Amino acid sequence: MSMDLGHSGKVLADIQRSGRAALIGYLPVGYPTVEISLAALRALTGEDDSPGVDLVEVGLPYSDPVMDGATVQRAGTRALERGVRTRDVFSAVETVAATGTPAVVMTYWNLVDRYGVDAFARDLAAAGGCGMITPDLTPDEAAEWFAASDTYALDRVFLVSPSSTDARLVSTVAACRGWVYATAVMGVTGARANTSALAPELVGRVRSADPDAMVGVGLGVSNGVQAAEVTAFADAVIVGSALVNTLLVADDAGTPGDLSGLRALVSDLAAGVRSGRGAAGTSTDSAGLVGA
């Protein structure tokens, strides 16, 4: 049985049919402040008719972010110190949804569990969110999330990695609704100078499990050139740490409201995705990859 594409997966499929891959951007709510983070999320989606990301991941800062790299950890820690709360994620989702760009929440499961799984799903749906990415929740431990996501028609995005066994990968892909998050670099998140030769192989394994699955790849992309390379084999290019870093640079410079660096990077990434070689999602050839 093919994956239910839900709302976010249908968005990615529509973009793929237009002849390019999608661009997914991550930023945490609350950094450098809640108000500025909302402006940053709006900037992600493009302004003044300039292209932006096609799907937004709204991150929810957590006190023990063991899967995050140094950049996202720094931003999240500062956001918590400056008073961000779980409920602020719903304001962030509303802000993104108002632009017409779909939004999903990316969060550690403990925050959802503490809020109440059904209540979180209810409030996420009410805010206009289309689903959730749960990096530390596996499908076999997700009974409450399955029930709540079905009740409120939310997408479920689980992660696979190069270390996933074939059996685990098949069961994870089957549990997803929307798309599959392929984290193609071993270890914590973070921007990298080179893309990973493991990524095309991992995407190929997902396609073997479900040829119709939409696959987003996160592997530390930090510029438009790398984004273009990933479009050769992925349905969506996921960028997080590089975007967050532009906010850290501005904050460290004493100008936390300066979003010019963020806007410039979004423009570069959007141009890269639109100039990518080959049809998105049709090849697992890694010949053009940096560092391959």
pLDDT tens profile 124-160: 999 999 999 999 999 999 999 999 999 999 999 999 9
Number of domains in the chain: 1
- Domain at 170, CATH number: 3.20.20.70
Q: What span, in angstroms and rounded, lies between the C-alpha atoms of 73 and 151?
A: 32
65-121 confidence digits (pLDDT tens): 777 889 999 999 999 999 999 999 999 999 999 999 999 999 999 999 999 999 999
| DSSP calls for 198-259 | HHHHHHHHHHHH-TT--EEEES---SHHHHHHHTTT-SEEEE-HHHHHHHHHHHHTT-TT--
In percent, the amount of the chain with pLDDT more than 90 equals 84
Predicted local confidence at residue 241, as pLDDT: 94
Please report whether residue 281 resides in a domain.
no
Predicted local confidence at residue 47, as pLDDT: 80
Please report whether residue 132 resides in a domain.
yes
Domain housing 57: 6-274
Check 35, 47, 57, 285 and give the catalytic one: 57
Based on the residue annotation, tell me whether 68 is a catalytic residue of this protein: yes
Please report whether residue 143 resides in a domain.
yes
Predicted local confidence at residue 266, as pLDDT: 98
Check 14, 35, 47, 68 and give the catalytic one: 68
Unique residue bearing structure tokens 């093919």:
2
Please report whether residue 288 resides in a domain.
no
Cβ(248)–Cβ(74) under 8 Å? yes
Q: Mean of the per-residue pLDDT values for the chain?
A: 90
State the helix-helix crossing angle for 166-175 and 198-209, rounded to 10 degrees.
Answer: 60
Q: What span, in angstroms and rounded, lies between the C-alpha atoms of 220 and 234?
A: 14
Predicted local confidence at residue 67, as pLDDT: 78
Q: Which two tokens stand for residue 80?
A: 């918590």
Please report whether residue 289 resides in a domain.
no
Rg of the chain over all Cα atoms, to the nearest angstrom: 17
Predicted local confidence at residue 219, as pLDDT: 84
Q: What span, in angstroms and rounded, lies between the C-alpha atoms of 247 and 30?
A: 11
Q: What span, in angstroms and rounded, lies between the C-alpha atoms of 216 and 172?
A: 14
Instruction: Please tell me whether residue 57 adopts helix, strand or coil conformation.
Output: strand
Q: How confident is the model at residue 49 (pLDDT cuts 50, 70, 90)?
A: confident
Which H or E run contains 132? strand 131-133
Please report whether residue 292 resides in a domain.
no
194-252 confidence digits (pLDDT tens): 445 789 999 999 999 999 999 999 988 999 999 999 999 999 999 999 999 999 999 99
